[in-house]
Structure 1
Amino acid sequence: MNINILDTTLRDGEQTPGVSLTSQEKFRIATKLDEIGVNFIEAGSAITSEGERESIKEISAQGFNAEILSFSRPLNVDIDYCLDCDVDAVNLVVPTSDLHISDKLKISKDELLDLSNNAVDYCKDHGLIVELSAEDASRSDVDFLKNIYVNAIDHGADRICVCDTVGILTPDTSYDLFSKLNDVKVPISCHCHNDFGLAVANTLSAIKGGASEIHTTINGIGERAGNTSFEECVVSIDRLLPDFSTGIKINQIYDVSKLVARLTGVYIQPNKAIVGENAFAHESGIHSDGIIKNSATYEPMTPELVGRTRKFIIGKHMGTHGLNSRLKEIGLEVNESQLKQICDDIKDLADMGKTVTDVDLQVIADNVLEINHEDRIKLDEITIVSGNKVMPTASVKLIVDGEEILNAGVGIGPVDAAINAIKSLGMFKDIELIEYHVDSITGGTDAFIDVIIKLQKEDNVVSARGTEADIINASVKAYIAGVNRLLRD
């Protein structure tokens, strides 16, 4: 059975606190949603503003395969604005719980029923497709809820939607509710919120209960704890519900996820299912070994299914199998003893609280592979003079090709002065410092400092690192290590 997707990233998703999309950004997201096969796109709420209406008009004018909707209250003024935007359909939202009817609208149930029916009539008289969404349906009297739906259908509503507005359904109650409503004569859809972290589970249960359409947002963004996550729901249907399908181009899910994250500025948590950066990342030695032998041992799906790639994370929990695989990926072949040494060095660094990056791995591996090389330059001594009214000055004693050399330099700070003291020697003149990065590995004023630099000589670029409690020593050691590598190359 096919499950249709109504994506409301551009309406409910944009209601995420702090998110406001421009017309161009909305257009880019809508274009991608249409490309990957979303059936219905709720482009916004036409009543909101002139800018919102211009955005909806632009999306409506593109001739997308997807049906374009606008949110609307059951009021003629809202519906007229929707008509001005040339949308195909309206998501006509009618509150149905006692709480909303009495405390928010302050009308009777009979008045609410008339309001709903009249709004449906007005939409149909003007040629609009109508999806009638019952707001707070999960806290509504089921008999009254069904009466609202039956009346709406009699007046021409094309689809109906159950909204779990404050996310209070559970998978069991979701299934029960949709089972009680699935005898209506039009498609029924599910709109869930994630206040208790159950939006995806409740949506899947709704499908089993009879829903043939689901409302989602990319990355699950939305008010409060957000909405049903598009990517989690679509992939779950594909992998876990064999009797259902969506027709979504699943291998493009990661692309649309990253697009929405970038344009909205809403950070994707690393451990988020499907699209989080850790979703297909492995550090544990046992896991990495299993994945290399057969990915199904520790992955329920291949990363390629959703447009991802697998990553082996470098850290203290890793084993040699995963490490060797990662080394091969960056073009390094090592023997067994070198592999063990690299692994030990990584664990030592990780034990200091340091997250080991690919740059770290490259530097550690290079150091191990080059352990038999004799460095041409060695630091023997460094002295720094710096103060409130003193220009930072450094003097260094280097051993270059076995010869002792003294030199001095000044700079805007002590690190700059120390590097300048070395750089002023003739053999360094063609070497350019192109990147300098500092991290504090541990906490406190006595923290270990990790300095990573990149140096370039002609077309050759190398990375090097220095780790010390003293930032000046760490910087100078990193610089000299990089220069030695360039000179060997």
Structure 2
Amino acid sequence: MNIKVLDTTLRDGEQTPGVSLTSSEKLRIATKLEEIGVDYIEAGSAITSSGERDSIKEITKQGFDTEILSFSRPLNIDIDFCLECDVDAVNLVVPTSDLHIFDKLNTTKDQLLEMSNAAVEYCKDHGLIVELSAEDASRTDIDFLKTVFKSAIDVGADRVCVCDTVGIFTPETSYNMFNSLREIEVPISCHCHNDFGLAVANTLAAIKGGACEFHSTVNGIGERAGNTSFEETVVSINRLLPDYDTNVDISQIYNISKLVARLTGVYIQPNKAIVGENAFAHESGIHSDGIIKNASTYEPMTPELVGRSRKFVIGKHMGTHGLDNRLKEIGLSVNKVQLQQICDNIKVLADKGKTVTDVDLQAIADDVLNVNFEDRIKLKEVTIVSGNTVMPTASVKLTIDDVEVLEAGVGIGPVDAAINAVKKSIAEFDDIELVEYHVDAITGGTDALIDVIVKLQKEDKIISARGTEPDIINASVKAYIAGVNRLIEM
């Protein structure tokens, strides 16, 4: 059975405290959602503001195959704004619990039914597809919920949705409610919140109970504890529910997760399922050994399935099998005695409470192997010009094999300008790519030491390098040059 996906990252997800997306950012996310096969995109709430309407219009005018919706209350003014935005459909949200009807709306059930039906009719008269969402359905009397749904369907509603607005479903109660709604004659959807950490489990239970659509947000962002996680639910359906599937290209899951994290500023906890940085990372020696022999021993799916790659983490729990694999990844070949010595030295460092980075690994390995490189590229001088009215410009003086080179570059910031100037200076090594850049302040105060770690790649070789200085620009340039020196000697 094919399960439809309604993504509400741009509406419910944007209601995450502190998140406000620009029109161009919303369009980038919507475009990616369309590309990966999401069936419905809730682009926003048209009643919110003129800026919100402009954002929705930017999306609707793209001519996506994906159905574009706007959130709407059962009020003509809301619906008129949806029509102005030229959306295909509305997510018409109608409160159905006694708590919401009596305490929030201060109305009666009969009046609520009348308002709901009138709104559906108004939408249909104006050519809109209607998904009627019952707000706080999980605390609604089941007989009244059926009445609301059936009345809406009688006047033209195309789909209905059960909303677990405060996240109180359990998988059992979710399954039971959807199973009891099988008599509903239109597609039924679930919209779960994660207040008790059960949103994904409740959504999967709803699907098994009869739901043929679910609402979710990328990375599970949203108000309070967030919404059903898009990536966790889609991959769970793919891997755990053999009788169900979606139209989503799960190989793009990680890409859209990173995009949304970057644009919203809501970053992903390392241990988050599917997309967290540790989701396919292994440190334990037992685990690493098993993974190398057969990945299925400690992974329920291959990382490539969701656009990821596996990594072996350097630390005190690691074993020689994982370490040997990591050393080969950075271009080092060692014998058994050297491997054990490197492993022992890493554990000594880790026992002191230090996180062992790739830079530390390389330093330890070089010490054991007694590797000494003469740097071919040496930095002599860095000069930066930057200001409110001046594009950041950098000039660098360095030597390559004792030949002095002077070059300049511009960038979006002084660090970018300095790195660009270095790249121009070492154009003969243009096959080296900067793939990762990380900054930490390792002391306090405004004069803090800055620790810059970069990851560089040349063909299939990837190495890390570090620069530590009070000045972030010098630290960045030194780290970059150190990495290049390392790669050209490998």
TM-score, normalised by the number of residues in structure 2:
0.79
Alignment of 1:305-344 (within 5 A): 305-344=305-344
Does the CA-based 8 Å contact 2:43-2:56 persist in structure 1? yes
Report Cα offsets for 1:76-108 as digits up to 9, x if no partner.
000000000000000000000000000000000
TM-score, normalised by the number of residues in structure 1:
0.79
Does the CA-based 8 Å contact 1:46-1:85 persist in structure 2? yes
Secondary structure of the 1:130 match is: strand
Secondary structure of the 2:47 match is: coil
Taking a change above 3 Å as real, the CA distance of residues 369 and 436 of structure 1, as seen in their structure-2 partners, is farther
Taking a change above 3 Å as real, the CA distance of residues 357 and 225 of structure 1, as seen in their structure-2 partners, is same
Secondary structure of the 2:332 match is: coil
Query: Given the alignment of the two structures, is residue 238 of structure 1 paired with residue 238 of structure 2, yes or no?
Result: yes
AA at the equivalent of 2:149? Y
Q: Distance in 2 between matches of 1:142 and 1:436?
A: 53
Does the CA-based 8 Å contact 2:57-2:86 persist in structure 1? yes
AA at the equivalent of 2:351? D
Taking a change above 3 Å as real, the CA distance of residues 223 and 462 of structure 1, as seen in their structure-2 partners, is closer
Q: Distance in 2 between matches of 1:161 and 1:7?
A: 14
Q: Distance in 2 between matches of 1:240 and 1:30?
A: 27
1:176 alignment counterpart? 176
Does the CA-based 8 Å contact 1:71-1:92 persist in structure 2? yes
Query: Given the alignment of the two structures, is residue 144 of structure 1 paired with residue 141 of structure 2, yes or no?
Result: no
Alignment of 1:151-166 (within 5 A): 151-166=151-166
Alignment of 1:107-256 (within 5 A): 107-256=107-256
Q: Distance in 1 between matches of 2:247 and 2:271?
A: 26
Query: Given the alignment of the two structures, is residue 20 of structure 1 paired with residue 20 of structure 2, yes or no?
Result: yes
Does the CA-based 8 Å contact 2:129-2:158 persist in structure 1? yes
Q: Distance in 2 between matches of 1:71 and 1:462?
A: 47
Q: Distance in 2 between matches of 1:46 and 1:39?
A: 20
Q: Distance in 2 between matches of 1:355 and 1:167?
A: 37
Q: Distance in 1 between matches of 2:163 and 2:464?
A: 57
How far did residue 341 of structure 1 move?
1.1
1:79 alignment counterpart? 79
Q: Distance in 2 between matches of 1:267 and 1:463?
A: 24
Secondary structure of the 1:189 match is: strand
Taking a change above 3 Å as real, the CA distance of residues 462 and 119 of structure 1, as seen in their structure-2 partners, is closer
Alignment of 1:237-386 (within 5 A): 237-370=237-370
Does the CA-based 8 Å contact 1:363-1:464 persist in structure 2? no
Of the two, which has the highest radius of gyration? 1
Does the CA-based 8 Å contact 2:9-2:216 persist in structure 1? yes
Report Cα offsets for 1:121-140 as digits up to 9, x if no partner.
00000000000000000000
AA at the equivalent of 1:303? P
Q: Distance in 2 between matches of 1:204 and 1:154?
A: 29
Secondary structure of the 1:147 match is: helix
Q: Distance in 2 between matches of 1:436 and 1:73?
A: 45
Question: How big is the alpha-carbon RMSD for the aligned residues of Structure 1 and Structure 2?
Answer: 3.0
AA at the equivalent of 1:187? P
Identity of aligned residues (%): 73
2:433 alignment counterpart? none
AA at the equivalent of 1:111? Q
Report Cα offsets for 1:14-36 as digits up to 9, x if no partner.
00000000000000000000000
AA at the equivalent of 2:12? D
Q: Distance in 2 between matches of 1:436 and 1:23?
A: 29
Report Cα offsets for 1:341-380 as digits up to 9, x if no partner.
1111111111111111111111111111116x799xxxxx
How far did residue 453 of structure 1 move?
9.0
AA at the equivalent of 2:293? K
Secondary structure of the 2:94 match is: strand
Q: Distance in 2 between matches of 1:196 and 1:361?
A: 40
Report Cα offsets for 1:147-197 as digits up to 9, x if no partner.
000000000000000000000000000000001111111000000000000
Q: Distance in 2 between matches of 1:82 and 1:440?
A: 51
How far did residue 439 of structure 1 move?
7.2
Q: Distance in 1 between matches of 2:83 and 2:466?
A: 63
Taking a change above 3 Å as real, the CA distance of residues 124 and 7 of structure 1, as seen in their structure-2 partners, is same
How far did residue 430 of structure 1 move?
7.7
Query: Given the alignment of the two structures, is residue 36 of structure 1 paired with residue 27 of structure 2, yes or no?
Result: no
> After the TM superposition, which segments of 4 or more aligned residues of structure 1 sit over 6 Å from their partners?
427-439, 449-454
Q: Distance in 2 between matches of 1:51 and 1:59?
A: 13
AA at the equivalent of 1:337? V
1:47 alignment counterpart? 47
Q: Distance in 1 between matches of 2:373 and 2:34?
A: 60
AA at the equivalent of 1:366? D
Does the CA-based 8 Å contact 1:363-1:465 persist in structure 2? no
Does the CA-based 8 Å contact 2:2-2:245 persist in structure 1? yes
AA at the equivalent of 1:148? V
Taking a change above 3 Å as real, the CA distance of residues 450 and 31 of structure 1, as seen in their structure-2 partners, is closer
Taking a change above 3 Å as real, the CA distance of residues 450 and 336 of structure 1, as seen in their structure-2 partners, is farther
Taking a change above 3 Å as real, the CA distance of residues 436 and 192 of structure 1, as seen in their structure-2 partners, is closer
Does the CA-based 8 Å contact 1:363-1:463 persist in structure 2? no
Structure 2's unaligned 5+ residue stretches are: 375-400, 407-417, 420-436, 455-462, 469-474
Secondary structure of the 1:30 match is: helix
AA at the equivalent of 1:312? F
Taking a change above 3 Å as real, the CA distance of residues 190 and 259 of structure 1, as seen in their structure-2 partners, is same
1:392 alignment counterpart? none
Taking a change above 3 Å as real, the CA distance of residues 450 and 191 of structure 1, as seen in their structure-2 partners, is closer
Q: Distance in 2 between matches of 1:453 and 1:21?
A: 30
How far did residue 326 of structure 1 move?
0.4
How far did residue 213 of structure 1 move?
0.3
Does the CA-based 8 Å contact 2:358-2:464 persist in structure 1? no
Does the CA-based 8 Å contact 2:281-2:310 persist in structure 1? yes
Q: Distance in 1 between matches of 2:279 and 2:303?
A: 9
Query: Given the alignment of the two structures, is residue 91 of structure 1 paired with residue 95 of structure 2, yes or no?
Result: no
Number of residue pairs aligned between Structure 1 and Structure 2: 411
AA at the equivalent of 1:292? I
Taking a change above 3 Å as real, the CA distance of residues 144 and 451 of structure 1, as seen in their structure-2 partners, is closer
Structure 1's unaligned 5+ residue stretches are: 376-426, 444-448, 455-460, 467-474
Taking a change above 3 Å as real, the CA distance of residues 320 and 58 of structure 1, as seen in their structure-2 partners, is same
Does the CA-based 8 Å contact 2:342-2:368 persist in structure 1? yes
Does the CA-based 8 Å contact 1:60-1:87 persist in structure 2? yes
